[in-house]
Amino acid sequence: MEDKIICQKCIYYYVTWESASPHGCKAYGFKSKSIPSLVVKQASEEECKFYKKKVK
């Protein structure tokens, strides 16, 4: 069973601190108002290919 994609737990996710686009994805190279995995899903109709869970 694959892990559910939770961007905040991904190594590529970051907070931009910009109010217009607070979420960023280093793997895809964009910032957005929405969570990056949702943007990827809407644009490509596929799940994120780069999701990699952070190691504690």
Reported as a single tens digit per residue, the pLDDT across 5-20 is 999 999 999 999 999 9
The yes-or-no verdict on residue 23 having pLDDT over 50 is: yes
| Distance in Å from the first CA to the final CA of the chain | 21
pLDDT confidence bin for 3, thresholds 50/70/90: low
Domain with 21 in it: 7-44
User: Has residue 54 been placed in a domain?
Assistant: no
* Residue pair 10/54 in contact by the 8 Å Cβ criterion: yes
- Tokens encoding 4: 């559910």
Rounded to two decimals, what is the model's pTM?
0.87
Integer Rg of the chain from CA: 11
**If you average pLDDT over every residue of the chain, what do you get?**
93
Q: How many domains does the chain have?
A: 1
User: Has residue 16 been placed in a domain?
Assistant: yes
User: Has residue 55 been placed in a domain?
Assistant: no
Q: Which residues pair with 30 in a beta bridge?
A: 25
pLDDT at 36: 97
